[in-house]
Amino acid sequence: MSSKISTWKLPSPAWPTIGAISPLAKISASVSATHSANREIGTHTSVDIPLAPGRSVSVKDLLWQGDLVPVSVMVSRRPSTQRTGVPYIASFAEVEVAPETGRPQVLQIVVINDCGAVMYASGAEAQQVGGQVMALGEALTEELIYDPVRGVPLNFNLIDYKMPTILDMPDVEPVLLEVWRGAGEYGACGIGEGTLTCTPRAVANAIYNAIGVRVDELPLTPDKVLRALGKI
């Protein structure tokens, strides 16, 4: 089995002592970890300390030292092509736009989720419909506005931060498919926040089809529509 060396360059600030080891700031060389080429470096991987032969520190403890905190780590992988806990989603929106005011009005939404085996259909459909409230808020109205000088939010309340109510909601048609075989028990997939993921983009595409120009910034407010039309 082949192996490779991964090297980290240590920052200069003084770090605390780990056990009987001298402060890590005194390490002028790099620290290296030898690991199998067939796996990623994990939190339990040991890092040798050159100035203290025979002593090592875990990657987890090393990354929590000094100005390395906070540490942001992104882990990504390709989804399984056979079984997964993530459902497939599609949304369709019928939208009407008033050219005089720029106000978009969503008339109907169709949301489709292929979430594997559906074990509680009415609950899943309720999740689909309820998710569209959040989706339309993201698409049309919800936006935090900040003071450009002081940087404080100006609409940090439930009056000026516009969330959709039942009076703002269009007809929502939920569709459940059971084609995909999920990784969950009995072949089920999750159906939580995924129900709202595609809707704002569907609304944006419908507005484009209605007025012929793109509005590419959420929320899709009337002033942005009028600006896209060249009216303001």
The residue with tokens 């942005």 is 224
Residue 30 has pLDDT above 90, yes or no: no
State the pLDDT at residue 227. 96
Residue 199 has pLDDT above 60, yes or no: yes
Token code pair at residue 39: 């796996």
Higher pLDDT pick, 24 / 191: 191
Instruction: Single out the residue of 223, 94, 107 nearest to residue 169, CA to CA.
Output: 107
pLDDT interval class at 218 (50, 70, 90)? very high
Residue 23 has pLDDT above 60, yes or no: no
Instruction: Single out the residue of 52, 182, 213, 37 nearest to residue 113, CA to CA.
Output: 182
State the pLDDT at residue 72. 63
The percent of residues in the chain predicted with pLDDT above 90, rounded, is: 52
pLDDT interval class at 150 (50, 70, 90)? very high
Give the residue-averaged pLDDT of 204-227.
96
pLDDT interval class at 174 (50, 70, 90)? very high
Give the residue-averaged pLDDT of 62-79.
65
State the pLDDT at residue 164. 95
When mean pLDDT is compared over 5-14, 58-67, 79-88, 171-180, the highest value belongs to 171-180
Q: Are 11 and 68 in contact (CB under 8 A)?
A: yes
Average pLDDT, the chain: 78
Phi, psi dihedral angles at 212 (to 5 degrees): 85, 0
Give the residue-averaged pLDDT of 123-131.
95
Q: What's the predicted TM-score (pTM) here?
A: 0.65
Domain ranges of the chain: 3-68, 88-228
Instruction: Single out the residue of 4, 229, 232 nearest to residue 98, CA to CA.
Output: 229
Three-state SS string across 67-129, please? HHCCCCCCCCCCCCCCCECCCEEEEEEEEEECCCCCCEEEEEEEEEEECECCCCHHHHHHHHH
State the pLDDT at residue 47. 61
Can you tell me the distance from the alpha carbon of 60 to that of 66, in angstroms, rounded to the nearest whole number? 13
Find the helix packing angle between 199-211 and 121-136, rounded to 10°.
Answer: 50
- Which CATH number fits the domain 88-228, given the four candidates 3.40.190.10, 3.30.365.10, 2.40.128.640, 3.40.140.10? 3.30.365.10
